[in-house]
Chains A and B, each alone.
Chain A
Amino acid sequence: MNDQPAAETSTVDTEPKVASTTVSQPEDWAKLAQEYKEQRDTYQNRFTGLQGKYQQELAKWNDSGKELTSKVSSLEAEMAKVTGEKEGSETQLTTLQTDYEQASSDLEITKSQLGRLQIITDQFPDLLKFEGKSLLPDGNGDELVEQLTSFREMLGEQGKKAAADLIEGITPPAKAKEVDKNAQDYWTEALSALQAGEPDEHNRLMDLFYEAGGPEKK
């Protein structure tokens, strides 16, 4: 950019200003005025008639517009109503479809349970009580048959072992409650704990020994 201010320039109009003058022919001003007056009147008369016509037509179109607007409003309301009804119907349809699917599923489950019960009733009636307490494995069909067969075999083995234990007399006795023990019992256990190198347990048992009467009750 140029830092210098722009030099002001001025044009000196060297031509002298002179008012222009039109040179025309003289006319008959009266005659022209008359013609223009007649034209004005003619146009005035014509316009007045058109204005009336225009007013009439405008009123007619206004009425017609109002009627159309009313009809549009009415139709819009009707459309909204119909649209709402449509949506309600769709919702109802969805609900019905869900209900249908649930019912179908329940039916399947019921059928499956029925099949499972039929298998248990027909082939494993001895396990029916286990089913009543929901102790049997899940499943159906061949898989269930296989599982229940295995379950019954294991159950049989356990039962045989328990019976064998009972017969042999090696079933361990239920652990006696400590409150049922006497001083002699605690004494014996305390000595065992001492031998096993468990001084804390020994002390605990000796506490119980004294609580149970100590040497007087031994």
Chain B
Amino acid sequence: MADVLADFYDKNPVSVVDQDRWVHQHPEVALQFRQKAVYTPLVDWTNEPMSTGALNTRSHEIMEGDVDISAIPFTQNYVEPLAVDSRQREYTFSRYGQVVQAHKSESIVGQFLKSGGRDWRPLLRGVLGNSVVRVNEALARNAFLLGPKAFWTYSGGVASIGAISADETFDPAVINEWNLRLGYTGSPIIPGDVSSAKVAIVPPGVTYDLMNALPAASSNESALFRDVAIYGDQTPILNNEIGKYKNVRFIQAPSDKYGMNSAVLYNAGDITKQYTVTSAISIGDGAPDPETTQVDGVYYTGQKGATHYIQLENFADGDYVVNDIVSIHPTQTTDYGVTNGVDFLAGKCIQRRIVSVDHSNNRLTFDRPIGMAYDSSSTLVSHSGSSTTGYAFVTRAKHIGFILVMGSRGGVLGAVAEPLQFHEPVAIDQFESVFRFSWDSYHGYNMWEPNLFECHFCAVTLPKPGGVVSS
């Protein structure tokens, strides 16, 4: 069992590189992918650009001709040969990388320095490894979302993400359609599994809605749900697998420790309110003053010297509510059927939970500091406000559940051109206390076969302190 799952989770940008070229950080990163990855293992990987060095690679395949089933006359000596044709697909790669900082008082830095600067494992099990996995998880998820929208389906049969109303929660009836549309045409998703088994990555809110929907189904229908504990001793179980329904294995994407879930497109639906951020946001801004206010009555969050709010254009009382999850994003899009909508694939689109609203001064405070700067201004027109010079938008809209359903492997192709590299850290401040650790990698995610998977969208129930948020 263990090696079957190891095979499954070894589909990642590290494990595809020949082990002869591995450096000592790579095994730990591979382990991190095994333990934490949800979307990355669903991608097939190639390391061909490592040998060719080509930025763009065209993959060529021969197409078989049609067959003529007409009878041949007894006296005929020549027949038309089967046609031979070909088709090509192109894949490429980009460069990705991040720098993470850690103070020497943190135990992982202490362990690193103590080991003479060679044992990176404590770091890779913490912030550095998380950085690699999170970047690739986001890229892998988005790679599936970058496929043609014609293949997308929506709960309730509506036409776009923007048209999803609160009633369009997950409907188990669509599972029959998945079984019809996503027939087995490639290799099994899970090695050794039943060949036609499909995998659906769902947010916790969809599990909630599915469990609510099952009792309403006829007893025979609801009896088809199999809890993972029932078949778990016969079949390799994936991380976060919750059960099986009509030959679809459900994996619940885990939420991070701040409650954010990669299978939820926060504020991607119909907009309730959207206003412009009118003052630049610096790294570390937005959390309450740790000397005066605790988050959730527990956490002294962020730095005293930071700005403890973000400044918005004028908004009314009730436009934002405590415990709302809002998106902060620099750009708008209409790609998903929402006018002025959130571009959830943008690099600087982040989410935060509101912990206080000051509508008199038009300020919002969040559960944790904002980790990147929004300091580039332009003239922005928000959905609910007016045209003004701003730095980003803060949008409160319907949250959309994203369900990735895989019929078989091969929907997205990952290509690695240069193995993941880590760079030896140095202290960067006068007191030699803050260390920066960095990594970069040349690899890419490419749409490869859109018939093998499906992106399904629905309204989703979200948890909030003391209750649930229905879309």
Interaction A to B: yes
What residues of A have a CB within 8 angstroms of the CB of B22 in the complex?
191
A128-171 at interface with B (beta carbon < 8 Å): none
Given A197-B5, A210-B119, are A215 and B27 also a contact pair (CB < 8 Å)?
no
Q: Hey, which chain A residues are within 8 Å of B31, CB to CB?
A: 194, 199, 202
Closest chain-A Cβ to B172's Cβ sits at a distance in Å of 34
Chain B residues lying within 8 Å of A15, measured Cβ to Cβ, are: none
* Number of B interface residues in the complex (CB < 8 A): 17
Contact B6 A195 (CB under 8 A): yes
Determine the residue in chain B with the shortest Cβ distance to A214: B118
Smallest CB–CB gap between B194 and chain A, Å?
21
The answer to whether A194 and B24 touch across the interface, beta carbons within 8 angstroms, is: no
Q: Is A198 an interface residue (CB 8 A)?
A: yes
Size band of the interface chain A makes with B: 10 to 19
A-facing residues in B1-58 (Cβ within 8 Å)? 2-3, 5-6, 19, 22-24, 27-28, 30-31, 34
* In the complex, A218 has a CB within 8 A of chain B: yes
Q: Which of B102-133 contact A (CB under 8 A)?
A: 115, 118-119, 121
Inter-subunit contact B119/A214 (CB<8 Å): yes
Which residues from A are CB-within-8-Å of B23?
A: 215
Q: Which residues of chain A are near B2, meaning CB under 8 Å?
A: 196-198
CA of A197 to CA of B22, assembled, Å? 17
CA distance in complex: A209, B22 (Å): 14
A203: shortest Cβ distance to chain B, in Å? 8
The docked-state distance in angstroms from the alpha carbon of A214 to that of B24 is 8
Q: Taking chain A's interface residues, is the majority helix, strand, or loop, or is none over half, making it mixed?
A: helix
Residues of B within 8 A of A216 (CB): 118
Contact present for B3 and A191 (CB under 8 Å)? no
Q: Provide the bound-state CA to CA distance between A68 and B197, in Å.
A: 121
- Encode contact with B along A174-213: 1 for CB under 8 Å, 0 otherwise: 0000000000000100110011111100110010011000
Q: Complex formed: what's the CA distance from A215 to B121 in Å?
A: 13
The answer to whether A209 touches B24 (Cβ under 8 A) is yes
A215 to B424, CA, bound (A): 13
Please report A residues at the B interface, Cβ cutoff 8 Å.
187, 190-191, 194-199, 202-203, 206, 209-210, 214-216, 218
List 29 A-B residue pairs with CB atoms under 8 Å apart, sorted by A's residue number. Answer: A187-B24, A191-B19, A191-B22, A191-B27, A194-B6, A194-B27, A194-B31, A195-B3, A195-B6, A196-B2, A197-B2, A197-B3, A198-B2, A199-B31, A202-B27, A202-B31, A203-B121, A206-B121, A209-B24, A210-B115, A210-B118, A214-B24, A214-B118, A214-B119, A215-B23, A215-B24, A215-B118, A216-B118, A218-B24
The 4 closest A-B pairs by CB, nearest first: A197-B6, A197-B2, A197-B3, A214-B118
